């Protein structure tokens, strides 16, 4: 692949005007432990400060979109699991939503509730492990990450009992879900969800007031409201800048208009706000989950009229988007009436949230670049596709 | 007071550390070879063919309709259809697969072959795959 190149280091001169110093060009990644996968940054440093940063993607490109254009509509469902492998259920949901819009399928009520329950559980485990990873990037080796993974484990156990796989769930189908809840699942899930606030309290006592965390994160990687909106940043990143934009409230897709929840907003747009937004969102997710589990109706879990085999939507185009844990995840499909889509496009939240990385990192220390990247919440499977 | 947050955090880790001796929620680890998690019915490993009766070859439910071969997303199933018919478990003459190959290295355990099969002839295995190269080093399965 062609890489974006900086001029040779010798030609870069320090901005401090001191003729003795030169800029140092560092290539961070793609095998760097802090880059959350195979991500590479070409960083030019003036002493400790970043003067230029070029993100370089593409090391995990797997041709997802073109493969999907040669697959049946159902056939690309398991591939969507592999986009953002932390939250496979929300990926399934966004794709199912796009196909349902395209083909005009009505989802039964119970299926909508099942989607909300599994989707919010996904958000819980994604945010919990993200906070753990962020602490790991900051050097808090182990403890917060292991506490987060302990909770994630319980949620993954629920997913395995329900869908058969811990991460590659492949759970949604066009017009509903693949299977109904097994016996005892709901009681077990209620137990996990009811115990979750205790974990959040502990996590907050462990981290939020910690002076080292505050010193490392407050005022670091500030993203302005205007830039965030202009760059198309979505999800917790955008809300940490104080923009009230949550697709669950804006689009009210599925049945989100029935639940009573608040959208937490940040004020400064720094790393600490992004960390705090995740913790607050988990509390809201717990409240959505409790409401959804209370109201879960009986009924069919999938639309029986939708064909599994030989599924051909009418010619047309559709865009389905949901609020995935990382931001707005959208699928754009064009059908020409054949069993496979004519065009299949993914709008990944991670990639678009990553485009403003340079603006957040300029003038910061090299050590802060790692935590700024950590707070963006990327998964390379989704960035490169 | 500076450092208060750190001390509170340390108290939290201490609570978790001592709590892990008394509370099952704080220590979810399973000591693998001695202790095993219950096998999950829905969990999926790799597909296998289902047969009726006692003889696997005679009672095979697969009639080699080639639907799973067509629908498999990574195209890991390869079937060679028989030229003659053979009586199945209920005695009705049916085609059978003279070759049914699944490339396990390509299979991504998505279960779509199971969903599309009209004869319920293919199912997902839920046996855990052994973590050792020899069967002898694995301790026997505890009685269930």
A350-359, pLDDT tens digit by residue? 899 988 888 8
Q: Is the pLDDT confidence value at A300 over 70?
A: yes
Nearest to A291, CA basis, from A120, A93, A56: A120
Tokens of B141: 């399965």
% residues pLDDT > 90 (chain A): 24
Q: Residue B42 — φ and ψ, nearest 5°?
A: -80, -15
Q: Is the pLDDT confidence value at A67 over 60?
A: yes
- Taking the CA atoms of residue B21, residue B26, residue B29 and residue B31 in that order, the dihedral angle to the nearest 10 degrees is 20
**Residue from the list B9, B42, B44 with its beta carbon closest to the beta carbon of A182:** B42
**Residue from the list A154, A163, A211 with its beta carbon closest to the beta carbon of B42:** A163
d(CA A332, CA A351): 16
pLDDT value at position A331?
92
DSSP H or E run through A55: strand A49-56
d(CA A229, CA A222): 14
pLDDT value at position A60?
87
* DSSP three-state, residue B42: coil
In this structure, of A147-151, A264-268, B82-86, the range with the lowest mean pLDDT score is: B82-86
Other Cβ atoms closer than 10 A to A7: 11
**Residue from the list B28, B73, B126 with its beta carbon closest to the beta carbon of A153:** B28
CB contact under 8 A, A168 and B108: yes
Assess contact for A239 and A229: CB atoms under 8 A.
no
Give the pairing type, strands A343-347 and A327-335.
antiparallel
CB contact under 8 A, B43 and A165: yes
In this structure, of A14-23, A86-95, A211-220, A280-289, the range with the lowest mean pLDDT score is: A14-23
For CA atoms A275, A276, A277, A279, the dihedral sign is positive
Q: What is the mean pLDDT of residues A127-145?
A: 87
A170-179, pLDDT tens digit by residue? 898 888 888 8
In this structure, of A239-248, A253-262, B35-44, the range with the lowest mean pLDDT score is: B35-44
Q: Is the pLDDT confidence value at A333 over 70?
A: yes
Note whether A24 contacts B: Cβ–Cβ < 8 A.
no
Q: Is the pLDDT confidence value at A286 over 90?
A: yes
Best interface-test mutation with A: which of B23, B77, B110 has the largest number of A CBs within 10 A? B110
pLDDT value at position A13?
55
Q: What is the mean pLDDT of residues A190-202?
A: 90
Nearest to A188, CA basis, from A164, A166, A163, A159: A159
CB contact under 8 A, A77 and B110: yes
**pLDDT interval class at A31 (50, 70, 90):** confident
- A201 compared with A3, residue with greater pLDDT: A201
pLDDT value at position A1?
45
Nearest to A376, CA basis, from A281, A271, A279, A224: A271
Q: How far from B107 is each of B10, B62, B123, CA to CA, in Å?
A: 46, 19, 14
Q: Is the pLDDT confidence value at A332 over 90?
A: yes
DSSP H or E run through A183: none
Q: Is the pLDDT confidence value at A14 over 60?
A: no
Q: What is the mean pLDDT of residues A77-101?
A: 90
Q: Is the pLDDT confidence value at A317 over 70?
A: yes
d(CA B10, CA B4): 10
In this structure, of A1-15, A27-41, A50-64, the range with the lowest mean pLDDT score is: A1-15
Between vectors from CA A282 to CA B25 and to CA A190, what angle results, nearest 5°? 50
What distance in Å separates residue A205's CA from the closest CA in chain B? 6
Tokens of A291: 């409401």
Best interface-test mutation with A: which of B1, B2, B4, B5 has the largest number of A CBs within 10 A? B5
Q: What is the mean pLDDT of residues A319-344?
A: 90
User: For residue B40, which residues of chain A lie inside 8 Å, CB to CB?
Assistant: 160-161, 164
Q: Which residues of chain B have pLDDT under 70?
A: 33, 129-144
d(CA A189, CA A120): 12
Note whether B112 contacts A: Cβ–Cβ < 8 A.
yes
Q: Is the pLDDT confidence value at A327 over 60?
A: yes
- The residue to which tokens 């939507």 are assigned: A313
Q: Is the pLDDT confidence value at A156 over 60?
A: yes
CB contact under 8 A, A309 and B41: no
What distance in Å separates residue A173's CA from the closest CA in chain B? 11
Q: H helices of B1-144, where?
A: 4-22, 67-71, 112-116
Note whether B75 contacts A: Cβ–Cβ < 8 A.
no
What distance in Å separates residue B87's CA from the closest CA in chain A? 27
d(CA A242, CA A225): 7
B14-31, pLDDT tens digit by residue? 988 888 888 877 887 887
Q: Output the pTM of the full model.
A: 0.86
Q: Is the pLDDT confidence value at A316 over 70?
A: yes
């Amino acid at each position: 692949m062609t890489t974006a190149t900086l001029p040779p280091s010798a030609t870069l001169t320090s901005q401090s005007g001191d003729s003795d110093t030169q800029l140092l060009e560092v290539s961070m990644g793609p095998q760097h432990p802090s880059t959350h996968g195979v991500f590479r940054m070409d960083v030019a440093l003036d002493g400790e400060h970043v003067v230029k940063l070029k993100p370089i993607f593409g090391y995990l490109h797997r041709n997802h979109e073109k493969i999907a254009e040669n697959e049946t509509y159902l056939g690309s469902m398991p591939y969507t699991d592999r986009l953002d492998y932390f939250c496979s259920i929300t990926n399934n949901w966004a794709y199912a939503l796009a196909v349902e819009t395209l083909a005009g399928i009505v989802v039964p009520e119970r299926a909508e509730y099942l989607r909300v329950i599994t989707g919010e559980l996904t958000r819980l485990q994604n945010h919990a492990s993200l906070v753990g990873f962020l602490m790991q990037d900051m050097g808090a080796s182990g403890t917060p990450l292991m506490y987060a993974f302990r909770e994630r484990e319980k949620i993954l156990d629920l997913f395995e009992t329900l869908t058969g796989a811990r991460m590659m769930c492949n759970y949604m189908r066009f017009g509903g879900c693949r299977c109904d809840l097994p016996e005892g699942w709901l009681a077990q899930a209620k137990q996990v969800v009811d115990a979750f606030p205790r974990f959040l309290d502990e996590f907050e006592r462990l981290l939020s007031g910690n002076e080292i965390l505050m010193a490392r994160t407050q005022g670091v990687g500030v993203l302005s409201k205007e830039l965030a909106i202009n760059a198309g940043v979505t999800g917790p990143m955008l809300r940490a800048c104080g923009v009230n934009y949550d697709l669950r409230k804006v689009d009210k897709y599925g049945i989100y208009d029935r639940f009573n929840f608040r959208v937490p907003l940040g004020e400064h747009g720094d790393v600490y706000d992004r960390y705090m937004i995740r913790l607050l969102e988990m509390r809201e997710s717990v409240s959505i989950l409790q409401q959804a589990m209370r109201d879960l109706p009986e009924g069919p879990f999938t639309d029986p009229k939708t064909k599994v085999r030989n599924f051909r939507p009418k010619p047309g185009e559709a865009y389905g988007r949901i609020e995935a844990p990382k931001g707005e995840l959208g699928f754009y499909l064009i059908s020409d009436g054949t069993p496979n889509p004519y065009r299949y496009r993914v709008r990944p939240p991670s990639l678009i949230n990553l485009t403003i990385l340079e603006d957040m990192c300029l003038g910061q220390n090299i050590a802060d670049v790692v935590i700024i990247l950590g707070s963006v919440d990327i998964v390379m499977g989704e960035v490169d596709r | 007071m500076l450092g208060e947050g750190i001390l509170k955090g340390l108290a939290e880790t201490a609570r978790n550390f001592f709590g892990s001796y008394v509370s099952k929620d704080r220590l979810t680890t399973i000591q693998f070879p001695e202790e095993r998690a219950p096998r999950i019915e829905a969990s999926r490993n790799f597909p296998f063919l289902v047969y009726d009766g006692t003889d696997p070859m005679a009672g095979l439910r697969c009639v080699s309709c080639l639907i799973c071969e067509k629908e498999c997303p990574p195209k890991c199933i390869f079937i060679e259809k028989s030229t003659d018919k053979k009586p199945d478990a209920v005695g009705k003459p049916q085609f059978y697969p003279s070759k049914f190959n699944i490339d396990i290295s390509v299979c991504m355990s998505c279960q779509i072959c199971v969903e599309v099969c009209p004869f319920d002839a293919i199912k997902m295995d839920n046996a855990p795959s052994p973590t050792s190269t020899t069967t002898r080093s694995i301790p026997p399965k505890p009685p269930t």
